[in-house]
Structure 1
């Protein structure tokens, strides 16, 4: 089933963008979506910005706009709610495109979880469940930098904006009625703030999978390699793994190849990397080997042992019971990383304290119950 689609307005001049943004600032909300390309680049390249006002869709052509000031003003206008869906990558697009982020932000994926629907619900499924519309998927991997855009691309993009506005008009009143709007907006504000945090190159090694297995001497090499990869990926605007695959970092540190031939024998090492970056990688490995023991990075924390699962389950139950009482998706109450952080504050024998990762309304709502459950003050029961 599909609904009639009003002809979208293409915005391809600074004057038209300014006129539309001035109009949108008179509205209580706008739905916003982006289409972008990010196949081999570090940063997303905006191909289209879609805006829905509840009546029609507007398609902004980023390749034709020179002055983004009106959009910046709209994104930052506290009186206009910006509606997006699963927007982490959209935030990157806006940050790169115009240096501004949407606030206040209403994320329909998050709203669905607060309304007791599935956690991390996809856009097409949400549209299907709430609007009874089956969206085509033909253009999901389309080239949004091509010009002119095809009629199929234009309709696909316009429908996204139109239906996103329709979702908000259904979900926002329900969220208000449940008294959960403030929680949602607090979560999205945290998400926007987190999106501005940039990984320091010297700390990039901490995000390398399996790096916790390494001895400090090997970790020093991974630190040098990961820092170089992070800096170069940004400077060249190249995807990290195109420059140097993450899966090769730990083997490089452990095997320490000293020739390009040895480098090429590292599992998952791309021949292009050896050809273009081989000598530099060998130099970086030597730099890592020359780090003084006193300057080795500390070993990274190991994953929690299986024996900690009983405590994790007890803590998770606190969130699940509260979620059931309020009719929201249990996964949204307490994230795994928060529970693990709390276990780490006192494992294995306690006492346990609330971790810094537990913030805002969750800390106020669940803090005391979590402390009681962790420190065996009370038994968590149905």
Structure 2
């Protein structure tokens, strides 16, 4: 990661772009910038896919608030997103990257996420954009349009100001954070985390595995899970095809209850509360067919959920000790605890897993991973002293 010097004597200008000519002109100017801050405004309450309503872009010297409803082709921005010499800046990049990937067919690279980077500088894991701007830039952002209808036109001046604020401070924050990370020797620590954000597999829905995320799916037997896999897959594909929220097709609770009842007829299916009102006859037939297909699948094809806490050794005591140690090292190193080691990862380590676990890789292993393994092996003891937790090496 190469830190570019901040341009001197420049002033940021804001432009509302509502035609293709101005968008292309901005893209040409931005091609010479070392950074490109990106944010999106969208709606998805009534759709499966997010409906992009506004795209905000910023260099060191200008902000472009792009109206996707008014321009002909956003793909003029693709060369900027793929240019390795331009660092793409985000705050909490996940949904923005998902939208860009769907709209443009590419993922930006390289990227820098200020929310992720903040966790190595003493901030909480989910710090919001506003508090981070205040912390680093000393600016209090207005919140008046945080829950506005971005699809309505014309946009008000307050909406445009709010949208511009979402990117205008990112270049400055990026440079401040890079300087502080470099001073701590941590500038490269997040390279793998940022590279992972650019992995397309993160933004592609796998309908065949959606059943694993159903609420209360753990109540089902393996045979019933087989039915849930088929029904959840059908629901996902229908939601995508019709661009509707999946819960508008069937709720998680309805899917699980139909599978728990092992419904084999439309009458059986309609015994589940609310299903009759949601499904037309054709869809009801499709759901019943999916149920029967799953229920009648041979046992060797029945899916199995990842091992639950109930079926694995109880490691509550180990987790308590591990989390105490992680909390201590996180505080000492001014790193958000969850960034250093999540509860889920600690549980896996406590149960003996060692492969593909972030806390046992790279800088995390150096700070805490090796020590956690020593703790589990009895090579470290924890006790309380006058100033808090005391870590003691025991005889090996």
How many residues align? The count is 371
Tell me if the contact between 1:51 and 1:161 (Cα under 8 Å) persists in the aligned partners: yes
Query: Is it true that 1:335 corresponds to 2:342 in the alignment?
Result: yes
TM-score when normalising by structure 1: 0.87
Distance 1:371 1:267 in 2: 50
- 1:374 is aligned, of 354, 373, 376, to 376
Alpha-carbon distance, 1:92 to partner: 0.8
Q: What is the aligned partner in structure 1 of residue 146 from structure 2?
A: 140
Alpha-carbon distance, 1:300 to partner: 4.0
- 1:204 is aligned, of 210, 219, 227, to 210
Q: SS state of the match for residue 370, structure 2? A: helix
Alpha-carbon distance, 1:62 to partner: 1.5
* Residues 1-382 of structure 1 mapped to structure 2, 5 A cutoff: 8-193=14-199, 196=202, 198-260=204-266, 262-267=268-273, 269=275, 271-273=277-279, 277-303=283-309, 307-343=314-350, 347=351, 352-358=352-358, 359-363=361-365, 365-379=367-381, 381-382=390-391
Q: SS state of the match for residue 8, structure 1? A: strand
Tell me if the contact between 2:117 and 2:177 (Cα under 8 Å) persists in the aligned partners: yes
Alpha-carbon distance, 1:239 to partner: 1.8
Distance 1:273 1:327 in 2: 53
Alpha-carbon distance, 1:34 to partner: 0.6
Change (3 A) 1:357 1:231: farther
Which stretch shifts more, 227-236 or 111-120?
227-236
Tell me if the contact between 2:209 and 2:229 (Cα under 8 Å) persists in the aligned partners: yes
The gaps in structure 2 that reach 5 residues or longer are 1-10, 383-389, 392-396
Q: SS state of the match for residue 189, structure 2? A: helix
Q: SS state of the match for residue 279, structure 1? A: helix
Which stretch shifts more, 153-162 or 19-28?
19-28
Q: SS state of the match for residue 72, structure 2? A: coil
Tell me if the contact between 1:40 and 1:239 (Cα under 8 Å) persists in the aligned partners: yes
Alpha-carbon distance, 1:326 to partner: 2.1
Change (3 A) 1:241 1:188: same
Q: SS state of the match for residue 31, structure 1? A: strand
Alpha-carbon distance, 1:135 to partner: 2.5
Q: Deviations over 1:245-302 (max 9, x none)?
A: 1122221111133555543442564822467733322222222222122322235421
Which stretch shifts more, 359-368 or 157-166?
359-368
TM-score when normalising by structure 2: 0.84
Q: SS state of the match for residue 48, structure 1? A: strand
Change (3 A) 1:160 1:324: same
Distance 1:302 1:199 in 2: 23
Tell me if the contact between 1:92 and 1:195 (Cα under 8 Å) persists in the aligned partners: no
Tell me if the contact between 2:315 and 2:347 (Cα under 8 Å) persists in the aligned partners: no
Tell me if the contact between 1:342 and 1:355 (Cα under 8 Å) persists in the aligned partners: no
Q: SS state of the match for residue 215, structure 2? A: coil
Which stretch shifts more, 177-186 or 361-370?
361-370
